[in-house]
Each structure stands twice: as C-alpha cells, then as structure tokens.
A and B are shown apart, each in its own frame.
Chain A
Amino acid sequence: MRPVLSLVFCILWVLPGWAAGLTYRLEPRLIAPGTYVFEGAVEHFTTQNGGNILNTGFIVTNDGVIVIQTGPSRRYGEEMRAAIAKVTDKPILKVFVSNQHPDYFLGSQAFADVPIAALPGTIDGIRVEGRAVTENMYRLIGDWMRGTDAVVPSEPVFAATQVYGRHRLRLIPLSGHTQADLAIYDETTRVLFAGGLVFSDRAPTTPHADIPRWLDALDELATLDSAVLVPNHGVIRADNSAIAQTRDYLNWLTAALGRAADGGLDMTEVMALDTPARFASLAVLREEFMRSVAHLYPKIEQSVLSKVN
C-alpha cells in the first residue's frame, strides 16, 4: 500500500500543475459562425486566476484555424490549443497578437510551429520589453508561468484584408493603448476583435497609453458596422456601447488629472480622488485609476509647473 501511495505522490510532484491543481479550464464560447472566445476574468493578474484576464479567441475557417491572442502563459497557450483541437481537427494557420502586453502573447510558445503575426510596433515592443514583462509576470502569478518565455512574433503585418476560407479578415493598424494596436474585423461575421483599445465594464489600463491617439482609434472603430464586439477585457457585447464607455472614461481621466495638477495635488492625493458614480460598474476601477495616475500624472503635472530659472 505504502509504495503505491509514494508512487502516486511522485507522479503528482513530477507533473507540474497537477500537484497544485493549476488549470485554466478554458471553455470556448461560440459568439458567431465559426467564431469562439475564451473569456477571461475581469480581475487583475493574481495567483488565483493565473493571469487569465483576457478575452482570447479563434475562428474556424475551411482552410484552417486563425488564433487571436495567446494568453498570459505557456500553460494557457497549451490549454488553449488543446481546447481548440476539441472543437475542430483543422490545422492552425496563423496566430495574431494585438499588442505587446504580456497577456496577449506569453502563450505563444504553444504555437511556435505556425506564423505569429503582429504589427511591427508590437514586434519591436516585445523584442525590447518582452523579457522584463515576462519576469514581472512570474512575480505576479507565480507557478502558472512555469516554462514561459517571451516569443517575438515572426510575421509583421500591415493594413490589409486577408481571406481564410470564407472569412474576410480586415486588419486595422491603430495605436494609443500601446504604440501599435491591431484590431481585427471579420467582414464575414461582422465580429470585431478590438484588441487592447476597447474595455467593456472594466477600467482601461494605460501603461503605454497615448490618450489623444487612443481616442482617434476609438472613433475609427466606431465607424465599423460590427454585430459583436470582443473587447480585450470584459463583457462581450452585441453593440458598440463599450467603445463609448472606454471613450467616456479616457476623457474623464485626462480632465480629472489636468484639474488635479492645476489644483496643486501631489500624486498620492490624486490617487485618492473619488471616481464618478457612472464608472462604479467598471471592474478593478480603483486599482487601474491609481496605476493610471502613476503612468500619466508626471507628464500632466509638468504642464502646470512653469520653468522659473
């Protein structure tokens, strides 16, 4: 009896994840013909959620499968690929990565055998900062990251319409959330994978943000006749309301930080400011607002401090 038990323990120890019970339990949700999404939690990166906070997706076409974002870790990418294989036995044709933030691309090791496409700015961003963001993810989510390395996307893409089976995918290069944000609009199903630009009932993140350019990008996305909008984080909706919500928040944020700087507030005082009641429905609002103060306030306060020598 005892040797058997020891053997069981050995196996549990040897197979990483089993012992800790780490699995993302990814369940694809059909949102349009041939189009599936793995919905992430509307939370921050934690050791509980393993970084599964992003809406990733895939499109099954007659030619093969198109994967959109690869998730926060190698484990996520592998589980995602296994979950796709349960839906279809078609080969994976290509992976798109929308921006350089860690939850978009750290699952790419599981797709190393197929082209991984991204905007040139995203490829540069991952090349320069990929290692540092990967190390920070190990700090934030721990064992979920085991074996994860940053993979620099292999294929630069530009504005184009690419056809896979009967799906016509319009690649829209934008920026503002980061230096390069790829939105993918499926003209066939009218599904918009908005990438990092649109948040839905979840406070926007701003570590690489250029807000005026971001607002321009939202205007461009609003012109699309989308039937389903997949935001990077938060609730998937059958209308464009998440675009307006993101725009409203960004406008408020810029104005509030400008007012605070003009009123002479120090950064910690700005972090403690009240947020308007209409944003109470946004998940992780307080945390993201405080992060945004750290990202944006130093530059904004300089605009109210005049040079005196």
Chain B
Amino acid sequence: MIRIAGLALAMALSAAPAAADQDATMDPFRSVMWDDMRAVILGGGAVLFDQRVRVTAPASAEDALNVPVMVDASSLNAESKVEEIVVFADMNPIPRILNYRPASAKPVIGLRLKLQQATPIRAAARTGDGVWHVGGVFVDAAGGGCTSPALAHGDPQWERHLGEVQARAWGQAADGAVRVRFRIRHPMDTGLAPGIPAFYLENLAVHDGQGQELGRIDTFEPVSENPVFTLEVSPSPASRTLRLTGRDNNGTPVLADIPLPWRQSALP
C-alpha cells in the first residue's frame, strides 16, 4: 500500500523553528511584510509561531499557477479547538488565500494556489483563546501566477462548465473522519490579468445529510483555477451524502451532493 516518507528531501515542511532558542513571537522568515500581514490579515491579534501548525508545500513551485499546499493544525486541537485557519502568502499582490472554519472537521485543508513570486506561505490557526498559531514554509517560484489569464479563457465553451463539481469521499477512519476531495470548475480570475475583471469563488460550505455544517471556506482570488480541495470532515453516522454549496462574486451558485462511501455504521 501507499507509504508516506517521513520527511521528503525537497519538501518544505513547517520551516518555523520554534525551538527553545527561538523567540516564538519573532517571524522565522524575517519577512518585510510580516507586520502588515499581522495587522491586516490577523487583525493585530496575539501571535505565536508554532511548529504544530504544519504547512507542507514543495520548496520550489514547478507551476506557479498551481502550487499545492497542505495545512494540518490537528495537533493543536488537543490543547484548544482550532476555530479558524487563515492561509496567506506575504509577497503575493493579493496575500489572503482562504479562511477555513472547521465546524465538525479536522483542522486540515489541502489546496492549490497561484504565486506571483517567491514568498513565505503561512497558515494561522486561531484557537479558542483567540491566539493565532502561525506555521509556514518558504516557496521559491518563477512567478507570474497572479497576473496570468486563466486557461479557461482559451476555451470558448468555458462558461458551460462553470460550477461543475467533481468529487469523491473516502471511507471512514476510526475517528469518524471522512476524507473528501472536490474540484470546482471556475476560472478564479484575480482581476490582475490585463482586461479580465476579478471573478472568483467567494465561499463554499460542506454540510452532512442532516444539514449540519461541517466546514466553511471563504476563498479569495489567489486560489488556483478549477480549485481542488481536500478536507477531513465528520458527518453524522446516518449521512449518505455531503452537500457542497457556495457562490462566486457574481452570485453564481455552486451546488452538489457528494455520495459518502458505504458504511457499516449507517445500516439500521
């Protein structure tokens, strides 16, 4: 079966060295943008650079339009529940990438984003006490991701596929979590490519079969075209489907029911 190597060589994994000799309030990347990020993105709240917020991304972006990033803040949960995760990239012309509120889900999200140049990519996880726990990686990139037109504009039929969802959910783990991956057809125009106005998904939510909200994502322009997300949600045992809803900044709705894998526990 599939085994995951402990730590891949060229993989950047939570570079924040929150070691004893390191002041946990000092930005490990010494980014010139950090003070602004803290003020604008995190509202100036209390901040702790914390390795327990694991951010994984390749150290060098092969495709600046699709840089894969995985955030896992689940080891914070034992101490205090993670209420919100904010993902941002200091050097991007639009730094804010998404906010994720895992209501009944692990504080884990996989996504892809557009990078304009080499930058720290960070995830800030806010725990119940209001503290932002910040992890991050530095990713090198040839750049140009945010100012390039979406590939969809090369296809005259793209509007026909707008809002199409492809998805699949994977079997229940021992802790009741279901992994769900979904892809939504959307150009995610940043507004920075010449002559193409901003047109992007603004929010997405996943509910279980009983209408209980499992997680909610506010998405922003730097999320990649035709975004793909990975979440780990905990639907009620009786749920047969997950419902994905959302809309873009022009009001176009997203609606899809994602079948859950067959589960023993759902039988009467």
- B69 and chain A: residue at smallest CB distance: A268
Picked from B8, B69, B163, the residue with its CB within 8 Å of the CB of A272 is: B8
> CA of A139 to CA of B143 in the docked complex: distance in angstroms?
11
A291 at the interface (CB under 8 A from B): yes
A266 CB contacts on chain B under 8 angstroms: 68, 70, 110, 181, 230
Number of interface residues of A (CB under 8 A): 31
The answer to whether A295 and B62 touch across the interface, beta carbons within 8 angstroms, is yes
Residues of A near B4 (CB, < 8 A) are 269, 272-274
- Give CA–CA (A295, B63) in the complex, Å: 8
A263 lies within 8 A of chain B by Cβ: yes
Inter-chain contact A273/B5, CB cutoff 8 Å: yes
CB pair B2–A273 under 8 Å, yes or no, is yes
Whether the Cβ atoms of B257 and A267 lie closer than 8 Å is: no
* In the bound complex, CA of A307 to CA of B165 (Å): 6
- Give A268 to B167 CA distance when docked, in angstroms: 18
- Nearest CB on A from B161, distance (A): 10
Identify the closest chain A residue to B61 (Cβ): A294
Interface residue A91 (Cβ < 8 Å from any Cβ of B) = no
Q: Is the CB of A305 within 8 A of B142?
A: no
Please give, as numbers and ranges, the residues of chain B lying within 8 Å of A294 by CB-CB distance.
58, 62-63, 66, 68
Is B112 at the interface (CB under 8 A from chain A)?
A: yes
Tell whether A302 is near chain B: CB-to-CB under 8 Å.
Answer: yes
State the CA gap A1–B87 with chains docked (Å): 61
Q: How far is the CB of B46 from chain A (nearest CB, A)?
A: 29
B163-192 interface bits toward A, Cβ cutoff 8 Å, 1 = contact, 0 = none: 111111010000000010111000000000
Q: How far is the CA of A94 from the CA of B152 in the complex (A)?
A: 41
Report if A301 contacts B (CB, 8 A): yes
Contacts of B170 in A (CB 8 A): 263-264
Q: Which residues of B contact A268 (CB under 8 A)?
A: 11, 56-58, 68-70, 110
B165 & A263 in contact (Cβ 8 Å cutoff): no
Q: Does B228 contact A (CB under 8 A)?
A: yes
Most buried by A among B2, B11, B112: B2
Q: How far is the CA of A266 from the CA of B63 in the complex (A)?
A: 16
Instruction: Report how far A263 CA is from B167 CA in the complex, Å.
Output: 13
Q: Report the minimal beta-carbon distance from A258 to chain B, rounded to whole angstroms.
A: 11
Residue of A nearest to B242 (CB): A308
Cα of A260 to Cα of B112 in the assembled complex, Å: 17
Check: A8 CB closer than 8 A to any chain B CB.
no
CA distance A286 to B68 in the complex (A): 17
Mark each residue of chain A from 266 to 281: 1 if its CB lies under 8 Å from any CB of chain B, else 0.
1111011110000000
Q: Cβ of A264 and Cβ of B8 under 8 Å apart?
A: no
Residues 154-167 of B, flagged 1 when their CB comes within 8 A of A and 0 if not, give 00000000011111
**Residue interface bits B62-104, CB-to-A below 8 A is 1, else 0:** 1100101110000000000000000000000000000000000
CA A295 – CA B58 in complex, angstroms? 13
B19 within 8 Å of A (CB atoms)? no
Q: Could you tell me the distance between the alpha carbons of A168 and B129 in the complex, rounded to whole angstroms?
A: 78
CA–CA, A259 and B259, complex, Å: 21
Residues of B near A273 (CB, < 8 A) are 2-5
* Bound: A211/B9 CA distance, A: 25
Question: Are A308 and B181 within 8 A (Cβ)?
Answer: no
Verify A307–B2 contact, CB threshold 8 A.
no
Taking the closest CB of chain B, its distance from the CB of A141, in whole angstroms, is 13
Determine if A264 and B168 form an interchain contact, defined as CB atoms under 8 angstroms apart.
yes
Indicate with 1 or 0, residue by residue over B223-267, a CB within 8 angstroms of chain A CB atoms. 000001010000000000000000000000001111100000000
CB-CB contacts of B1-40 with A at 8 A, as 1s and 0s? 1111101111100000000000000000000000000000
Interface pair B70/A309, CB less than 8 Å apart: no
- Closest-CB distance, B149 to chain A (whole angstroms): 14
Contact B11 A271 (CB under 8 A): yes
Let me know if B179 and A290 touch, CB within 8 A: no
Whether A301 pairs with B10 at a CB distance below 8 angstroms is no
User: What's the least CB distance linking A282 to chain B, in Å?
Assistant: 14
Question: Do B3 and A301 have beta carbons less than 8 Å apart?
Answer: no
Q: Mark B125-165, 1 if CB is under 8 A from A, else 0.
A: 00000000000000000100000000000000000000111
Contact A290 B58 (CB under 8 A): yes
Residues of A within 8 A of B255 (CB): 309
Q: Given the complex, which residues of B lie within 8 Å of A304, measured CB to CB? A: 168
Cβ of B257: which chain A residues have Cβ within 8 Å of it? 308-309
Given contacts A269-B4, A302-B183, contact A308 B142 (CB under 8 A): no
| A307 touches which of B69, B164, B181 (Cβ 8 Å) | B164
Distance in angstroms between the alpha carbons of A298 and B166 in the assembled complex: 13
Closest beta carbon of chain A to B123's beta carbon, Å: 13
The answer to whether B8 and A290 have CB atoms under 8 Å apart is: yes
Residues of B bordering A, CB below 8 Å: 1-5, 7-11, 56-58, 62-63, 66, 68-70, 110, 112, 142, 163-168, 170, 179, 181-183, 228, 230, 255-259
User: Which A residues contact B (CB, under 8 angstroms)?
Assistant: 136, 139, 207, 259-260, 263-269, 271-274, 286-287, 290-291, 294-295, 298, 301-302, 304-309
Q: Can you offer 16 A-B residue contacts whose CB atoms are under 8 A?
A: A266-B70, A268-B58, A268-B68, A271-B58, A272-B56, A294-B58, A294-B68, A298-B66, A305-B167, A305-B182, A308-B167, A308-B182, A309-B163, A309-B164, A309-B165, A309-B255
